[in-house]
Structure 1
């Protein structure tokens, strides 16, 4: 199973980064290129433990539907979301947050398994792992951009 790990340093308080990371509204902004929309479950605001969201998005030329659920929640240190239904065989996304000297270190660990057995493993090596890494990096850059601009993060966190 491939694991993607991304570390992002953000000049903002840990609670702001944590909250932006679980914002459905900010997620929509970070995935404009895939036309991602929340179509069921929590469709706006901040996700909390036990809540789920169903996304519809265009990935790799195909519209897909994916439902994920927050299965662990420890504000502002960590939360975990897991795929309930979707194109992957499975995924677990760990989000870690730690503030050091006014800088929040956000770590993502995205552990997934592709469908289709050997074909899925080949797709991972050829393009899927890099595709997913780019999506996560884009999401984290959006979180960083909003967290480091108080006007932007206040607007998102009051939706």
Structure 2
């Protein structure tokens, strides 16, 4: 499966970063405006087993996704997995690593399997990787701003 990784160094304790990223409203604020991310259904704060239903715009089409939190280890990270959506598989790990008393690194690791069939001819792994790189460049900027 194709993989993507992004990381950003933040001047905050793991607990503060974890609290921020475990709130869907904050995750929405980290998404590029052109993605049109809107949570249709989500808890205020994530926990093990939480379901998030959202709409996003990708490739000119609004799509609905359903994701579930399958691993939840406060304050070091969690995993969200796609339950329903346009691609075959999407696993997103949020990992917080403390560097010293004042700095942590937030890593995002994503493994995915592109869609098959005719859609798969247009929505290739390379296109998805390019889209993730753009989205996470924006996300890194927003996180630095949120923790500065």
TM-score range relative to shorter protein: 0.7 to 0.9
Partner of 2:106: 106
Q: Is the 8 A contact 2:68 2:80 kept in 1?
A: yes
The count of residues paired between Structure 1 and Structure 2 equals 145
Distance 1:119 1:61 in 2: 13
Query: Shift of the alpha carbon at 1:72?
Result: 0.4
CA distance in 1, matches of 2:16, 2:5: 21
Task: Give the Å deviation of 1:36.
Answer: 1.3
More helix by share: 1
Q: Does 1:71 align with 2:73?
A: no
Conserved in 2, the CA contact under 8 Å of 1:96 and 1:106? yes
Alignment of 1:132-151 (within 5 A): 132-148=132-148
Provide the residue aligned with 1:50 in structure 2.
49
Q: Normalising to structure 1: TM-score of the pair? A: 0.82
Query: What TM-score does the superposition give when structure 2 sets the normalisation length?
Result: 0.88
2:25 is paired with a residue of what secondary structure? Answer: helix
Give 2:4's aligned residue: 4
Q: Does 1:129 align with 2:129?
A: yes
Gap change, CA 1:24 and 1:145, over 3 Å in 2: same
Q: Is the 8 A contact 2:56 2:64 kept in 1?
A: yes
CA–CA distance in 1 between the matches of 2:69 and 2:84? Answer: 13
Report the Cα distance in structure 1 between the residues aligned to 2:46 and 2:70, rounded to whole angstroms.
11
> CA deviation digits over 1:28-70, x for unaligned, max 9?
222232221111242xx22111101100121121000001111
Distance in 2, matches of 1:65 and 1:85, equals: 8
Unaligned stretches of 5+ residues in structure 1 = 149-159
CA contact (8 A) 2:114 2:120 kept: yes
Structure 1 stretches of at least 4 aligned residues deviating more than 4 Å after TM superposition:
none
Question: Which is further off, 10-19 or 33-42?
Answer: 33-42
Partner of 1:35: 36
